[in-house]
Structure 1
Amino acid sequence: MTYPCPACRAPADDVSGCSRCGRGPDPDAAEVIRLDLEIPVLTERAATARRAWQSADRAVTDAWRRRTEAVARIQSRLAPAAPAPAPLPVPAAVAAVTAAPRPEASTRTVQNVLFLLGGLLLGVAAVVFTAVAWNTFGVGGRALLLAAFTALALGAPLLALRRGLTATAETIAAVGLLLVLLDGYAAWYVNLFGVAGGSAARYAAGVFAVTALTAAGYARLTGLTGPRFAALAAVQPVLPLAVAAAGAGPVGWAWTLTGVAALNLGVVVLTRRPVRWAAWGLGAAWLAAAGLLALAASAFASRTGTAVTAGLALVGAAALALAGALVSRRTPAVAAAAGLVVAATGVAAARPLLLLDVTGTPALVAAVAAALAAAVAAGGRLLPAGVRVGPRAGAFLVLGLPGLGALAGTLAAVAATVEASRPAWAAGWSARPGNADSWPLPVTVLLLLAGLLVLLPRPARRDTALAGAALLSLGLTAGLHLPWWVAPALLLAAASTALLLAARATAPATATRRAAVAAAPLLVALLVGAGRPAVLAAVLATLLATGLTALALAHRRPGAVVAAVTAGAGLLVLPATAASAAAAAGAPDHWVARAALAALAALVALAWTTRAATSRAATAPRLSAPRLSAPRLSAPRLAALRLPALAAAAGAAVIAPAWALPAGDPSVLYAAAAVLAVAVTVRAAGPGRAALAAAAGALPGLWLVVAALPGLAAVLVAPYEQLGRVWDGPVTLPAPAGAVAGALGVAALAVAVLIGRNRAVLLSAVPPVAGAAALVAVGAAGAPWPVRVAAAVAAGLGGLLGTAVRRRTGADVAACGAVSAGFAGAGLAGAFAARPATLVALGATAAVAAACGAAGRTGSARVAGWLGAVGAAGGFALAAGRAAGLTPAGAAFGVLAVAALALALGAALRSRRPGESAAVQASAHVTAVLALLLCAGSANAAAAVCVLWGVVLGLRALWPGEAANPRRVLVVAAAGAELLGWWIVAGSGGVTTPEAYTLPAAAVGLLAGWLALRAYPRLSSWTAWGPALAAALLPSLAAVFAAPDAPLRRLLLGAGALAVLVLGAATRRQAPVVAGGAVLTLVALHELVRVWDLLPRWIPLAAGGLLLVGLAMTLERRRRDLHRVRSAVARMT
């Protein structure tokens, strides 16, 4: 084969290659020539095959269509005589060629839908006819039409079932049964055969009964499911409507509803699913309603007979529930129903007793509950294990109802006992709670406890008996009408027994339960014992003895925690025991409080004793056994006592400040003593004492602070009153109480004890407290004004200098510095009484602050020093100017000079201490702002300050070695200061044109953006120039819209926007192009709107009409296109 050579395009063949260039044979080039000749032939063959396939496909589609039409004609001819024949089999050969198009909906589906809609329409028509169209026809016509409708609706399902349309038959049958009800209503409405002369309820019952029978028979005839549900629904109101006609009471209604529930239970037994589940639900609902009605009738019964009949109805409902549970053959249901029977029996037996007018009614009810519990316990052994739970739960419920009454009676008895023990510490010895008729309360508690013990298993009976004894002890004193002081003895007996048994418990849960039982008797014993000091002392001493005994009994047992808590509680109330004993001995109130303090000291000593004894016992195994055998044996018990002693000491210290209130002593001293006790106790606790110190010392420490506030305010807050009388002589400072100074001294000692040998923390914590104590002492001694001011300034500045020269950092150092600053601030405020004192104090503060900034050991101390120095120097400049007779605006220039010096200082510190430099420069700017504020009322001075500060910032920008970016920021800041000066001058001159203010600001913004773009060429123009462009264009645009009669402004704004647009296009920046274009567009639209009123009125209407017509044409075209697409898709195979 020949082909053109790929290299020289000369003829070549696949044997010898190219004759011109000598290139060898190229098979690929020869293949290309061959395929070029073959492709047109193949293309023509493919087109012929495609046309043949399309013709065959159309023929197959036409054959399927004609076949479907033939089958439909056959079905239409055979439909009256026989069911439609099965579809003819599809030939395999045809199916292999192509598949028939699947219809979107089958004939059966369409028929079902049509029947369903027809049935619904018939039902609606019937209802409308019955309710509205009565006046159109006579009685005969009405009856005939309703009968025809009913017959048609009940006969149509039979035809539907023959066609296999079950769902349609169900729907139409429901409509037919509805028509049966409507027939009954129609008969009543027209008084057919005189039916309207009787009871409406009884007639309705008959109609529902007939409907139910009709539905049941229809369901039997057709086998449909819907009529079964209709029969079940129609039979429900038959019995209630019949009873309503008889006017039954609540008990009768309860029996009626129980009967309906029994009827549903019969349906459950005789029918199958799914009606059975509906009958279950309806029966349960009716039975619940019957039970509630019977229970309400029993609860509101006022006569014994009514209560008895209501109780029988309640038992009947419960019995029917049990029968239903047995039918269900489900063990949980049987157990629950059996429990309901037991509960109903208890209520039915107990409720009539409550209507008896006798004293022992609660005891009788408790006896019935106990007897029922005994019967359940005896008979429950005969029941299966799964069923046995229900009767027991019912018995517990029966016991619980009178148990609530017994609990309420016990609470009332407790309240009566507490009331008899009042007034506190002065109750009469002969007072008795309760009366002679209170005896049923303990009897009731005993009977209920006996019933409860019978039901409970053997392992739970001991703790239950213990709880019952505790409950009995709460109400026994009032129940037996004994003197009130007998109650603490009974209550403590029950509580001590429970606590000792808890200590001997073999499981932690058991110990916790028994300890919980002792809580209520113990609390009530404390409340009642407060009636007399001697009784309270005895109660508290008994609690302490019980705790120590329990701690000894619980050695290495699970109840050791309960024993430790009990012992800790006993030790905690040791101060109260001492105070009660002192009060019982007739000691004065202040000695009573001091006895409590002595007990607190004893607790602290006990904490140290247990620590020392425990340490010696811990080393006993390394020493000789004969000498130290006894301590070694007691070491565990001493270790167990150590934690309660520590907790008791800390807890007693928490409430110690309150002891001073009844005694009339200064509470600040008690608070300080409590803080010292906490510190010593924490030291006795050993390592890990921070949490204990924070928890125990919080309240007394807060009390100490609150109590010391008046004294501290006298030396730290009162001097600030001098600021309202600057240079007008010293104000009268209050003298703090000497007790505050002593308390603060004790607090300083407590802090030292708590910190111990940690010298670094000690130097931070003790000096502030000691300094406050010294200042309060100076004030309490009646020192004159200069001495108090000098002491405060010296203490504050000395503390600040000492804090600054320390190498250590931390919260304690910061707190020490803050307190020292408070001292110095109070001294400075007091120094404003006279000009010399003010200048001396501010000068000393500036000097010390500068020393802190220069010699501080830490960065934070140096920063604080420099900031304080700048602030004090600025204050000194202001004070000096005012002392020289200058106005505030005149003195502002001195303050501005201080700001300039501070800025220079910050620049000098930049290379060595950049952090301090930034802080100092920031303080310089703040000082400059304060100088500007001093010029309020003088626009010229304010403008001068702004201009001068702009010059200072410009000079700062020229500082040698300054980086480029900070230099740009300084230039912009200088321009901003000059701009502010311009604004002030313009505002004072009465300039109201907004552009006079916005355009200079925009110029400054553009300058800042230009500098930023020089530093960061990739920066977005929106970031660089966006705010400036907004400031230049938006206010003028708003003015144009707000005041349209300003053609010059509109012209200039449009020109400016055009200039911005052109500049943005020239520099290829997005922000100017968008901003200028948007503003120019808005201005143009504004001009167009102004021309709108010049147009004739028909033009807007015509435009709107054309718009609507255009939209309609578009919609029409789209609908036509959509129809074409749907038709084309429908024709696709």
Structure 2
Amino acid sequence: MTNIPPPAEELRILDTELWQLDARRAVLLARRAWLVNTLYATPPAPPVRRTEASAPSVQNVLLVLGGILLTVAAIAFTLVSWSQMGIAGRALVLGAVTVGALGIPVPLLRHGLRSTAETVAGLGLALTVLDAYALHEVTFTGAGGTGYAAVASAVLAGVWAAYGVGIGALVPTEPAGPAEGDERLRSHAGPVLLRLPLPLALLTAQLPLPLWALAVDAGPITVTAAVLATAAADTAVALRVSLKPVRIVAAVGAFGVGALGVLAAGWLCWSASGPGAAARAAALLALAATIALTAAWHAPKPDLALGTSLAGGLFLVAGAGGVLRASLPGEWTVPGCLACGVALLAVVRMRLPDPVRRGLVGASVSVQALAVAWALPLVALVLVGPLSWVERAWSMAPADAREAVTTDLLWPAHSATGPLVLAVVAGVLALACRGAVWRGKALAVALTLGVAAGFVVPAALELPYGVGMVMQGLVVVAVLVFAGAVPRPRPEEQDESSAPVRSPLPLTAMLLALVTSLSLACVALGSETATLTVVGASTVLFAAVAAWRPDLGMYCVPASLTYATALICAIGASAGWQPQHTALLVLIVPITAAVVAARFGGSPMAVPVEVTGAAALLLAVGLASTDPPMLALVLALGGVVASGTALRPDRRRVGYVAGALFVLAGWVRLASWDVGAPEAYTLPVTVPALVLGVLRRRRDPRASSWTAYGPGLTVTLVPSLLAAWNDPHWLRPLLLGVAALAVTLLGARHHLQAPLAVGGTVLTLVALHELAPYIAQVVRALPRWVPPALAGLALLALGATYEQRLRDARRVREALGRFR
């Protein structure tokens, strides 16, 4: 055979074709496998329904229902069918059923049926209660119900506790379950304890001691002691037992029963009629405090320790306060409680756990806050009560300081020691708070309480009226001196990386001085001499502090000006001046305020000072309102003061106020002269307004004539036009027409829109007013058909020349538009 291609080339070709055949065969086999799988694949499984109740849940429900039904059956048997059986039958039935119910859980637990064992054990425990009831009905019929309940609850609690522990001894470890759960069960292997017996035993143990105390007819003290002893036992169990269900029941019992015992002990202590009974109840509160503090010492969580120690401290103070209430006069009860609360601060230096220490300090702070709250109504009465003297000034001098503040109010009972309470708390704050963070705020509160204490002393001690005012005045002086003496922070003492630290003491002292001085001024209204002395001294004192500490000027200067105003009014009233004459003297205050504000123009003090001056000016206006000539003078002088203020670059707008005051002064003067012509009132406004308009147009040629001249022209021409419309004489219309013509011509001459429009309108209306009588005569002389005919002809003429009139109107509008 002859090989056309060389053998090597032919071999290569054959290998290539075979490789292609193999590749094609692999593709066909893969396609065949996919088709086979598609044809013989199993259909998709239907969606699984969601189980609404899991197997354990169903199991528990069934077991609980079964236990309930069995318990109901046992109760029905004991109450209904009990009397149909003999003694032997009764004992046999109850004993057999109870022993069986309590014994069945053991084999159930060994076989891993814990839930079923719990249910049967619950049935057994319920049967023991029925056994106790049955024994009382058959064997112990003569025993009292309360006493037997106490003994039965104690026995049942012990039996149930022993039963719960005994089950753990009989079934020491959790039995192995299915193979898949062996590893989990082995990891949790240990003694088996049922969930019900021990918590139920602890719950039943709450009853024996209180029931026993009630059974022996013990007094309230013994019953309360039994309740607190039960709470103590609960606390011990909660702290020592590690089983969670038992700890929860013990904690709930300790808080619930303990709260009941504390409330009963507190009521007994604070309602006791003698020191002995109060001391016995206080001992119960001390027991409650011991329980709370012990629990706080061993509490696992800091928050729990803080809360229980705070409660323990309050229990101690409440017990001591109850004894003091029964032993001392009524006004010393609150100071005694305060002393006990302050004594709690001694724990700061004791070696105690930090949460316990903070809780006792919190109790002390709470007691002090309550004491201050008790004294606050007294402070409010002393500060606010004197306001009633405003309506009865100088009517009569009160007999003493207490009468000066209780003109229409009642003095609180047992409040003589209120100043002492405030002073003690102020001292504690000043000495105890040494931290840099709270130091400033604590000192501010201490200063407030100290000032309140000193201000309340005269009324609390019923000092004479003059002595009380002197003491309160010394308090005001001391506070102002303190405000001025507190040093300002130096720049080198401040941290450059933070905001400047400012002490709240100067501001606090200043506010206290303002409030107390105002109250003192109201108290002084009972006497003329006292009023003049107090108001005058306040004026000088606040002015001196403002000169001493300029940084306090924004408070002191307005106060000084206010008291100066009051002093002037008091001087005028004392001298018998008329109010309008006093108003002239009051103007000294706005003048002084304007001078001081100009002196400190860029200072924050300027605005309060100017507001005070404005208020004094309004007072002067009010005092002079009954005398028009004097009112005009006061308004004019006020305008002068406002004009002087407007000279300052930052107070240019006050010029409008000055102008308004001048105009009002002129109007009031004209009214006092019985001038009725409106031009007398409008021309003084028009002339300055037009002058200002001319000056503005010269400064800003682009300003509109309406802005420059419109207000001034309108103020005069419009009121005169209204007056001329009803004026039967010819002089006013003639003068008004001449003035309107002049204004119109000036507007046309200088191409000004506002004078041209206003003057032309007024001139036209004046002309119509003058021609109106003649037009009316002509109309009355014509036949009735003539006016409608003339109106129709006019409409035809207007319609005929409509286009021309529109063109003329556009020309007029364009001409007016070129005006400015």
Normalised by the shorter chain, which TM-score bucket?
0.5 to 0.7
Q: Which residue of 1 aligns with 2:544?
A: 851
Question: In structure 2, what residue type is equivalent to 1:924?
Answer: G
Describe the superposition over 1:334-367 as per-residue Cα deviations: whole angstroms up to 9, x where unpaired.
xxxxxxxxxxxxxxxxxxxxxxxxxxxxxxxxxx
Describe the superposition over 1:631-687 as per-residue Cα deviations: whole angstroms up to 9, x where unpaired.
xxx7x7696873233331476699999979997988876556666767776896999
- Which of 547, 550, 554 aligns to 2:238? It is 550
Q: Which residue of 2 aligns with 1:885?
A: 576
Q: Which residue of 1 aligns with 2:803?
A: none
Q: Which residue of 2 aligns with 1:983?
A: 667
1:730 partnered with 2:397: yes
Note if contact 1:680-1:754 (Cα within 8 Å) is conserved in structure 2. no
1:1096 partnered with 2:814: no
Describe the superposition over 1:1048-1085 as per-residue Cα deviations: whole angstroms up to 9, x where unpaired.
7899699879959986996889xx5999699989989x
Note if contact 1:603-1:648 (Cα within 8 Å) is conserved in structure 2. no
Q: Which residue of 2 aligns with 1:935?
A: 624
Question: In structure 1, what residue type is equivalent to 2:535?
Answer: L
Question: In structure 2, what residue type is equivalent to 1:779?
Answer: A
Shift of 1:567: 5.9
- Which of 940, 948, 954 aligns to 2:637? It is 948
Shift of 1:804: 3.7
> 1-side partners of 2:718 and 2:337: how far apart?
69
Secondary structure, counterpart of 2:226 in structure 1: helix
- Which of 521, 529, 537 aligns to 1:836? It is 529
After TM superposition, list the pairs within 5 Å mapping 1:492-891 onto structure 2. Answer: 532-553=220-241, 575-576=262-263, 578-579=265-266, 588=273, 642-649=305-312, 704=371, 707-708=374-375, 711-712=378-379, 715-732=382-399, 733-734=401-402, 737-752=415-430, 755-756=433-434, 760-806=440-486, 807=488, 809=502, 814-856=507-549, 859=551, 861-891=552-582
Shift of 1:892: 1.7
Shift of 1:824: 2.1
> 1-side partners of 2:485 and 2:386: how far apart?
28
Question: In structure 2, what residue type is equivalent to 1:550?
Answer: A
Q: 1:1040 to 1:590 in 2, by over 3 A?
A: farther
> 2-side partners of 1:668 and 1:718: how far apart?
22
After TM superposition, list the pairs within 5 Å mapping 1:303-382 onto structure 2. Answer: none
After TM superposition, list the pairs within 5 Å mapping 1:42-441 onto structure 2. Answer: 385-386=51-52
Note if contact 1:540-1:570 (Cα within 8 Å) is conserved in structure 2. yes
Shift of 1:867: 0.9
> 2-side partners of 1:600 and 1:1034: how far apart?
91
Question: In structure 2, what residue type is equivalent to 1:796?
Answer: V
Q: 1:1017 to 1:493 in 2, by over 3 A?
A: farther
Shift of 1:490: 10
Note if contact 1:895-1:931 (Cα within 8 Å) is conserved in structure 2. yes
Shift of 1:942: 1.5
> 2-side partners of 1:486 and 1:1081: how far apart?
117
Q: Which residue of 2 aligns with 1:896?
A: 587
Question: In structure 2, what residue type is equivalent to 1:890?
Answer: H
Shift of 1:791: 0.9
> 2-side partners of 1:1074 and 1:488: how far apart?
112
Q: Which residue of 2 aligns with 1:378?
A: none
Note if contact 2:629-2:669 (Cα within 8 Å) is conserved in structure 1. yes
Secondary structure, counterpart of 2:513 in structure 1: helix
> 2-side partners of 1:610 and 1:1075: how far apart?
95
1:916 partnered with 2:609: no
TM-score w.r.t. the length of structure 2 is 0.55
Q: 1:1040 to 1:684 in 2, by over 3 A?
A: farther
Secondary structure, counterpart of 2:604 in structure 1: helix
- Higher RCO (CA < 8 A, seq sep 6+): 2
Q: 1:1051 to 1:936 in 2, by over 3 A?
A: closer
| Count of matched residue positions in the alignment of Structure 1 and Structure 2 | 608
Shift of 1:944: 0.9
Note if contact 2:717-2:736 (Cα within 8 Å) is conserved in structure 1. no
> 2-side partners of 1:680 and 1:762: how far apart?
19
Describe the superposition over 1:478-507 as per-residue Cα deviations: whole angstroms up to 9, x where unpaired.
xx9996799999999999999xx9xxxxxx
> 2-side partners of 1:699 and 1:837: how far apart?
41
Question: In structure 2, what residue type is equivalent to 1:1096?
Answer: P
Q: Which residue of 2 aligns with 1:926?
A: 615
> 2-side partners of 1:1032 and 1:386: how far apart?
89
Question: In structure 2, what residue type is equivalent to 1:936?
Answer: S
Shift of 1:934: 1.7
> 2-side partners of 1:658 and 1:825: how far apart?
37
Note if contact 1:729-1:833 (Cα within 8 Å) is conserved in structure 2. yes
Q: 1:862 to 1:640 in 2, by over 3 A?
A: closer
Q: 1:1075 to 1:720 in 2, by over 3 A?
A: farther
Describe the superposition over 1:904-951 as per-residue Cα deviations: whole angstroms up to 9, x where unpaired.
1222233xx522233323322222222222213122222111111222
Question: In structure 1, what residue type is equivalent to 2:480?
Answer: L
Secondary structure, counterpart of 1:648 in structure 2: helix
Shift of 1:821: 2.8
Note if contact 1:895-1:927 (Cα within 8 Å) is conserved in structure 2. yes
> 1-side partners of 2:281 and 2:460: how far apart?
29
Secondary structure, counterpart of 1:906 in structure 2: helix
Shift of 1:579: 3.9
After superposition, the CA RMSD in angstroms is 6.9
> 2-side partners of 1:1025 and 1:771: how far apart?
60
> 1-side partners of 2:625 and 2:248: how far apart?
72
Q: Which residue of 2 aligns with 1:216?
A: none
> 2-side partners of 1:596 and 1:1081: how far apart?
102
Shift of 1:385: 4.1
Describe the superposition over 1:444-492 as per-residue Cα deviations: whole angstroms up to 9, x where unpaired.
xxxxxxxxxxxxx9779979999x999x99xx99xx9996799999999
Note if contact 1:544-1:569 (Cα within 8 Å) is conserved in structure 2. no
> 2-side partners of 1:559 and 1:999: how far apart?
99
> 2-side partners of 1:895 and 1:914: how far apart?
25
Note if contact 2:332-2:417 (Cα within 8 Å) is conserved in structure 1. yes
Q: 1:949 to 1:1082 in 2, by over 3 A?
A: same
Secondary structure, counterpart of 1:936 in structure 2: coil
Shift of 1:789: 0.7
Shift of 1:1018: 9.0
> 2-side partners of 1:1031 and 1:664: how far apart?
86
- Which of 646, 657, 660 aligns to 1:973? It is 657
Question: In structure 2, what residue type is equivalent to 1:917?
Answer: A
> 2-side partners of 1:486 and 1:1000: how far apart?
108
Describe the superposition over 1:803-837 as per-residue Cα deviations: whole angstroms up to 9, x where unpaired.
24423756565444333333222322222333332
Q: 1:979 to 1:644 in 2, by over 3 A?
A: same
Question: How many percent of aligned residue pairs carry the same amino acid?
Answer: 22
> 2-side partners of 1:650 and 1:1053: how far apart?
95
> 2-side partners of 1:699 and 1:849: how far apart?
37
> 1-side partners of 2:342 and 2:312: how far apart?
11
